[in-house]
Structure 1
């Protein structure tokens, strides 16, 4: 058995893990990453990047089918799904190659294999060393001063709806589809379910979304949820909210699936070529050796403090495995925070409400801060504004004028409590609102920023001014 000593070992090479590794290397540490699959993790290979590549292709196809609105006649437009997949794979591969280059540039040692944390041993008097089982069967032992756990998450399943990758799929399976189904039942109307519903609908698939909660995107502002549901229905998506899937009714055949749902005190039988289960993600905390440590797991997630330390202070954890907002950009920030704390730097502490949340459906939604209901429940006296994209010249030029920007502010302090958007390209607009919250700007201050005309960004300035009745376009 071979042993190697490092300042820091990172268990998991997703965005949280590689961000931590790169930042630590920049700060002069000798760093290793252990990854059982490919560098980039879920985000690069099974999540953010491949799904957004497919969403972009679906968006382009939908725009081409509506090109007559722009005075463009395009006959015979069709989807070559093989080429769609090829494009998606090419983007992933390009980014994967770039990530491998970053490892070499920063002199980070990458071990490919299954990593497990080991307890006190002849290699170290404390837990935190990592045993790596490589593909050829050789076992390596890595002995770090500090360990960062970044093992990520996987799609959550529903009892009775076990995925088979053919008729009942999760989001990982769906990204491996070689052809488009004619129809799909999507179980779950959260972020992942909504994005797949939008994408498949744009590709021409008949889609039904079943959500147990009373509305789609139950964690977002209610007005945004209602508008998204309205627009999806307008595109032909069937939406059943407040509906319970009866898993024991599932029947699979060579042609598709059947299952029943309870909706408004009635039972409905749904049929489709595939069922896509999108009910969230669960942390990868099993089989990594936590039982050999004093690291605490609560509610299925590793417990950490505000600088990402576990109960064993030399062991850190970041990303989806610690719960909270399971977002790639949150994981990246946590990884950097952990690395900087290890290196003795002051860590920027963030609150979850300061992290922007994005849904890449058509139209997109984006938000930061509290919803209106959350603000009221927390005792704030609020004032709000809402400016619609149909009042914006650039939105009309784009031909995408559905949606709005909503601002929620505290009446007494004038603090911005939340910003919620649904409409064209809002995932690129939300960062300004997030910066405003971070800097504790007031709506008036953001409104005084001179946004160029004509741009979509004007709407945020107008919405901020509208909080106090000063907007020009409202």
Structure 2
């Protein structure tokens, strides 16, 4: 006899497990299905372990520059095995925490690979990808009135440049190097590519970044990306924009890429490893979605903004439901979906108010429209800027390079976008996110008291600058 639930969620990544917990809080009998690891890619092979690696690189950088702070650190070195072990330990701790949260909220874990046979019916097959968590259910037939697909995404592979786990890496292999490569090529300059370029360069590798578009960090404001590029190049990262890897040849201990630029030129680059960071694709295969008639466009499950597909009782959230492919988007999307199922008042998420963060050195963070996008959409804008060099806390930290940029509608004072590059900006951006969600105007922000001495004062000064009232610049 089938085990029956109110809600079954396929995928225990950030979107899936958060949705499961919220479903249980709302009184639904809930189960979550996964085949490999609780917490998904983000916790196990993405957001969290990369930040652990980058933290090690940051500490290593400060130790190398101890003299800048009046300190002495001699014969500074690192053990890459220990760096990786720390990163994996951080992930392991949080993985166990997800399991405890699910148990605490009485969410059943079903271990295996799921397929949707028909509306309301899920078959789970055994999988050998990872041992099942203690107490998890296994293969079998399950039923639920509501089925939510939260299967996440995987690295995109380009034809002829498929990752081989040896010389051509994805983020999986880049996260657990057995030895530190002396040189590597990074194909793609989005958040994943730039974070790994930053990590490996800080740890001493020669790094070349190859980007198809004319700007690195293509989704970011052009001014912010240009500042970041100068910082990266100052650190010794070579950057090629408007360039495409056309072929890759693997040698005994190296990989050689042929790179063509947008002017018709060509060159060959050789390195020990190549990291392919050209985006991700949603995991929609083998779920039975096509058989059920679920609308899929360009590899994305089409939803109505609240997780509902065109098939009653079937929902999709997170990466499989489209960009931005971010963990925090998946979590919030899942909560909206399950609260809609419950009948609570909800409204579709405003994707323009979802912040994005890149944890390289320097950090980059943004929310809302870039200056170019705001102008394209017909806004008359006021733009404010404030440099880190004008902030006392930044100078005291030894981090005087960076910029806070704000963009306002000149007619209404609406905050349209905020963009930052510099130390700890990934922790600062949420102030602007809250302001945008509260429909705060420039007047509200100008009359807000920011603590001194803090980096956050630059957020205030940037707003003041947009209206000709800046104090410290």
TM-score category by the smaller chain? over 0.9
SS in 2 for 1:75: coil
The answer on whether the counterparts of 2:153 and 2:280 sit within 8 Å (CA) in structure 1 is yes
- What is the rounded CA distance, in whole Å, between the counterparts of 1:424 and 1:128 in structure 2? 49
Alignment of 1:283-302 (within 5 A): 283-302=282-301
The answer on whether the counterparts of 1:444 and 1:464 sit within 8 Å (CA) in structure 2 is no
SS in 2 for 1:463: helix
- Corresponding residue for 2:133? none
- Corresponding residue for 1:315? 314
Over residues 431-464 of structure 1, what are the superposed CA-to-partner deviations in whole Å (9 max), with x where a residue is unaligned? 0101111111112211221111111111101111
Distance apart, 1:346 and its partner CA: 1.1
SS in 1 for 2:274: strand
The answer on whether the counterparts of 1:117 and 1:292 sit within 8 Å (CA) in structure 2 is no
- Corresponding residue for 1:132? 124
- What is the rounded CA distance, in whole Å, between the counterparts of 1:215 and 1:270 in structure 2? 20
- Corresponding residue for 1:232? 232
Over residues 118-145 of structure 1, what are the superposed CA-to-partner deviations in whole Å (9 max), with x where a residue is unaligned? 02xxxxxxx2311001248974111001
CA distance 1:102–1:468, shift in 2 (3 Å) = same
Distance apart, 1:75 and its partner CA: 0.4
Pair 1:259 & 2:251 matched: no
Count of residue pairs brought into register by the alignment: 464
Over residues 90-141 of structure 1, what are the superposed CA-to-partner deviations in whole Å (9 max), with x where a residue is unaligned? 111111111110011000000110111102xxxxxxx231100124897411
Q: Which runs of 5+ in 1 are unaligned?
A: 120-126
Pair 1:88 & 2:92 matched: no
- What is the rounded CA distance, in whole Å, between the counterparts of 1:47 and 1:347 in structure 2? 30
TM-score, with normalisation over the residues of structure 2? 0.96
Deviates more, 1:343-352 or 1:66-75: 343-352
- What is the rounded CA distance, in whole Å, between the counterparts of 2:202 and 2:360 in structure 1? 10
- Corresponding residue for 2:435? 436
- What is the rounded CA distance, in whole Å, between the counterparts of 1:128 and 1:326 in structure 2? 27
- What is the rounded CA distance, in whole Å, between the counterparts of 1:92 and 1:174 in structure 2? 15
SS in 1 for 2:112: strand
The answer on whether the counterparts of 1:448 and 1:461 sit within 8 Å (CA) in structure 2 is no
- Corresponding residue for 2:134? none
- Corresponding residue for 1:44? 43
The answer on whether the counterparts of 2:35 and 2:127 sit within 8 Å (CA) in structure 1 is no
- What is the rounded CA distance, in whole Å, between the counterparts of 1:142 and 1:176 in structure 2? 37
TM-score, with normalisation over the residues of structure 1? 0.96
- What is the rounded CA distance, in whole Å, between the counterparts of 2:228 and 2:127 in structure 1? 46
- What is the rounded CA distance, in whole Å, between the counterparts of 1:54 and 1:266 in structure 2? 36
The answer on whether the counterparts of 1:31 and 1:109 sit within 8 Å (CA) in structure 2 is yes
Distance apart, 1:267 and its partner CA: 1.3
- What is the rounded CA distance, in whole Å, between the counterparts of 1:348 and 1:244 in structure 2? 41
SS in 1 for 2:32: strand
- Corresponding residue for 2:20? 21
Over residues 39-70 of structure 1, what are the superposed CA-to-partner deviations in whole Å (9 max), with x where a residue is unaligned? 10010111100111101101110111011100
CA-based RMSD of the aligned residues comes to: 1.2
Deviates more, 1:343-352 or 1:104-113: 343-352
- Corresponding residue for 1:421? 420
- What is the rounded CA distance, in whole Å, between the counterparts of 1:282 and 1:164 in structure 2? 18
- Corresponding residue for 1:185? 185
Over residues 246-292 of structure 1, what are the superposed CA-to-partner deviations in whole Å (9 max), with x where a residue is unaligned? 12xx2112211011111243211101000000000000001111123
- Corresponding residue for 1:122? none
The answer on whether the counterparts of 2:44 and 2:91 sit within 8 Å (CA) in structure 1 is yes
- What is the rounded CA distance, in whole Å, between the counterparts of 2:152 and 2:138 in structure 1? 25
Alignment of 1:16-165 (within 5 A): 16-119=15-118, 127-135=119-127, 139-165=139-165
